Homo-oligomer: A and B are copies of this chain.
Amino acid sequence: MKTYEGGPMRVASTLLFILFSVLLGHAEEGMWTFDNPPRAILKERYGFEATEAWLDHLRLSSVRFGGGSGSFVSANGLVITNHHVGRGQIQKLSTREKDYVAHGFYARTPAEELKCPDLELNVLMSFEDVTPRVLGAVKPGMTGMEALDARKKAIAEITKESREKTNLRSDVVSLYQGSQDWLYRYKKYTDVRLVMCPEAKIAFYGGDPDNFTFPRHDIDVTFFRVYEDGKPAATANYLKWNSAGAEDAELVFVSGHPGSTNRLQTLAQTLFQRDVVYPVRQKSTKRKIDLFKAYAATGAEEKRRAGNTLFGLENSYKVGKGEYQGLLDPRLIAAKQKEEEDLRGRIETNPEWNRTYRWAWDTVAAVVERQRATHLLSTYRTIKSTLYGFAQTLVEYSVEMKKPDNERLTGFQDAHIASTRLRLFSPAPIYLDMEEIQLADGLKESREYLGAQDPYSAAALGTDTPEDVARKLTASTTLVDPEVRRRLFEGGESAITASDDPMIVFARRLYPIAEEMRVWNERNISAPLTKASQVIGSARFTVYGKTMPPDATGTLRLSYGTVKGYPMNGTMAPPQTTFHGLFDRAHSFNYKDPYDLPDRYLERKASLAMETPLNFVSTCDIIGGNSGSPVVNRNGEFVGIVFDGNIESLTGRFVYTDEASRAVSVHSAAIIEALRKIYDAAALADELEGKRTQ
């Protein structure tokens, strides 16, 4: 089922990695795949044996959320994640009358648990190296495009076969810039119910200012429960809860799903990010923040509706700001350059390596030039809106369904269509007023950057204003009703092409232009980049061995590190905070938003043990997507939950250092203290602490 390379070669290459890491200051770097955990480092530095059983248990206790992470914490399907990971579902379950985002939620009995509208959770059941089959499909002499097509077909076949054989969700994951391909199989849970969430105010205490900083004081947790056949699922693999938490300097692990990193990118790609991608993205995100803030300011219900969207945008903006500042630091670019020069320098010492690998950097650089030239098109020939997204999916589906399975776009292949359906048929509320302003401003922004003459913009607007187009689209579309979407989907090509729903008509009009650009990008960007990146990935293996983990890919990874304070602003940040710190901050800001506290915290203050550890930091290497990851100790026990990285960690997208970069977690003790003293949730606390079985 799973494979792992053992033996002396591994130890030697790991030693090389340690040396290399120490030289570059990457002491505790790495979001490691479970097939290649840093066993030797753990053994040598910490005397810790990462056994197969330990790893399997941790992996099978880890849960993937869309864009986030979580873990099983009871035998009865109880899952813990961050509030900000579950927030989308909490928002979808909330109404004007019952605002669980603002006031929190607790189901005292299973019967009170609330079914989430469109949440799919995944558990990684097995993984398998399929590199030979994928790379084997690519024959010598194929053009880049032919190679890309052959590769995609092979992947589609592998996933289809796997799903038919195992009935598990099956994805092929490209690691090490495409130089390895692995088949990952997931158990899927789609009946997921909300058990408990605190108030957003305390889950996200300090709001946008405190986001990505430390010292921190957030109870950023939410509990869900997975159900099978209408009953809480039996989850034999779950993390035992340890309310003592981890001590200063203790070895801890994070098991989660980091979304993406760009550490193995070439220098040319990094400079493209710095010069083009970040400035464009930050400007656009800021514009959307302003748009939704203006909308939220029009009323309490509008504020509630825009809450989750604004949270996400502000979060992205702050991450982007930190990452962009990192890119603007000449030292970061110098470090990237040094790394690249080292690799390329070694390649140049060997004539065969030189012949095989050298060209790839030039190809990447040439592709990057194309990306620089077309970045505004790629960015602004798109429209952000939930309803337009549905329409676009339906129109694409009407085209893709006619192709053989292995030639379809990924989401429409047999292996993934169920997940697409779950999203498409979601009963979650859609707010037409928000859709309208988002569409109007998006269309306006596209026209500003593309020009009115651009075919996409011209097709979208015709002779109308963006506001008119948005008003007409939202005024009479029926896609708000999930049943309408289901009927269109099930009616297939004929139903979709015949539909006169204005949003469908609009999507049909834009489809050829978007599709032309997608094909152009595939041919001119993806195909050559896939090939060249794979060659660079292979070159790295050849030169250094498999000594580094691959860039993050939204799949399960293991990080390790120690609980540890760090130098901050002229002094030291402590390894942890306490409830004393929460009340200090509240009072020091005179309870002004975002430093006010939910009433319950003021009413029950006297009952709280103030010295209970609240949040803590560790050197574990994480990034967005790790939110909600369990932090476990040597015994694999749950000691905390990652919810953030500090501001110093944000440049970790490009280069990791452990001097001041820290993962920020909620301490297990704080969760229990809050459940028992603030939320009267003794039943849940007992379930966590193994004091009762539900």
Contact = CB atoms under 8 A, between A and B. Distances in A.
Contact of A570 (B322, B588, B589, B590): B322
Given A215-B588, A590-B248, A610 B571 contact: no
Interface of A: 206, 209-213, 215, 248, 318, 322, 565, 568-572, 574-578, 580-581, 583-585, 587-590, 595, 610-611, 613, 646-647
Contact of A610 (B210, B580, B646): B580
A569 B649 CA distance: 12
Contacts of A211: 571
A589 B247 CA distance: 11
Contacts of A571: 206, 209-211, 213, 647
22 contacts: A209-B571, A212-B570, A213-B569, A318-B570, A322-B570, A565-B589, A568-B569, A569-B647, A570-B647, A571-B647, A574-B585, A574-B588, A576-B588, A578-B583, A578-B584, A580-B583, A580-B584, A580-B610, A581-B581, A581-B584, A581-B588, A587-B611
Contacts of A610: 580, 583, 610
Contacts of A212: 570
Interface centre among A210, A211, A610, A613 (most CB of B within 10 A): A610
A575 B584 CA distance: 11
A316 to B, nearest CB: 15
Given A577-B584, A588-B581, A209 B572 contact: yes
A205 to B, nearest CB: 11
B577 A588 contact: yes
A568 to B, nearest CB: 6
A580 B646 CA distance: 23
Contacts of A646: 570
Given A215-B588, A318-B570, A565-B589, 18 more contacts: A210-B571, A211-B571, A213-B571, A248-B590, A569-B569, A569-B647, A570-B646, A570-B647, A574-B595, A575-B588, A576-B588, A578-B583, A578-B584, A580-B581, A580-B583, A581-B581, A581-B585, A581-B588
A499 to B, nearest CB: 48
A350 to B, nearest CB: 42
A91 to B, nearest CB: 25
A665 to B, nearest CB: 14
A26 B548 CA distance: 50
Contact of A587 (B209, B213, B322, B578): B578
A577 B585 CA distance: 7
A580 B583 CA distance: 7
A583 B611 contact: yes
Which one of A318, A578, A583, A584 has the greatest number of beta carbons of chain B within 10 Å? A584
Contacts of A589: 565, 572, 574-575
CB-CB nearest 9 A-B residue pairs: A570-B647, A574-B588, A581-B584, A580-B584, A213-B571, A213-B570, A209-B571, A580-B580, A580-B583
